[in-house]
């Protein structure tokens, strides 16, 4: 299996309260607009909303979480991975049918380092039969 294509995808804004990160995937596996960012605090639930604009099923996963040093940090800290930060009560990755909307849910299980919550960097992996596997990074810091 070939390595995923890596794409720098910038989220449009900093974390806003009560914002669900959402994004749409084209039939070619492209994400045009990065999902909104979020702050992570213990026992909160984060919901990613995924719209499949193509006609074929796709698989979407959220992975490789890194904690940022502060809210306005441009990149996650490679020395501070937080992949164990979440409990996924529903599958991660999730398969989203053509023309359908899918959801990824995660409950935060760890206490944040920062008082208001941690700002995290992560990777979105999109896979489809017609385009292969693409890794998107909403913060522009593609992880190794």
DSSP SS3 for 134: strand
Are residues 121 and 48 in contact, defined by beta-carbon separation less than 8 angstroms? no
Residue range 47-74: mean pLDDT, rounded = 89
What's the rounded Cα separation, in Å, for the pair 62 and 143?
13
User: Phi-psi region for residue 113, left (φ > 0), alpha (ψ -120 to 50) or beta?
Assistant: alpha
DSSP 139: B
Task: Read off the CATH number of the domain in which 121 is found.
Answer: 2.60.40
Number of domains in the chain: 1
In a domain, 107, yes or no: yes
The pLDDT, as a whole number, for residue 144 is 44
Q: Using pLDDT thresholds of 50, 70 and 90, give the confidence band for residue 19.
A: low
- Domain housing 122: 5-137
Q: What is the 3-state secondary structure (H, E, C) of 38-86?
A: CEECCCCEEEEEEEECCCCCEEEEEEEEEECCCCCCCCCCCCCECHHHE
What pLDDT score does 38 carry? Answer: 73
What is the reported pTM? 0.86
Whether 111 is in a domain gets the answer yes
CB 88 within 8 A of CB 23: no
Per-residue pLDDT, averaged over 12-21, amounts to 62
108 part of a folded domain:
yes
Residue range 72-128, pLDDT digits in tens: 777 778 888 888 888 998 889 999 999 999 999 999 898 888 877 787 888 899 999
Q: Is 143 among the domain residues?
A: no
């Amino acid at each position: 299996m070939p390595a995923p294509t890596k794409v720098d995808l910038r989220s449009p804004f900093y974390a806003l309260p009560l914002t669900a990160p959402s994004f749409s995937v084209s039939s070619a596996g492209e994400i045009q607009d990065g999902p909104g960012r979020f702050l992570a605090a213990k026992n909160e639930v984060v919901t990613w909303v995924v719209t499949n604009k193509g006609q074929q099923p796709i698989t979407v996963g959220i992975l490789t979480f890194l904690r940022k040093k502060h809210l306005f940090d441009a990149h996650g800290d490679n020395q501070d991975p937080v992949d164990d930060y979440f409990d996924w009560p529903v599958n991660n990755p999730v398969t989203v049918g053509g023309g359908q909307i899918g959801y990824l849910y995660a409950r935060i299980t760890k206490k944040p380092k920062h008082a208001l919550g941690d700002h995290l960097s992560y990777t979105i992996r999109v896979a489809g039969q017609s385009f292969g596997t693409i890794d998107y990074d909403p913060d522009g810091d593609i992880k190794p």
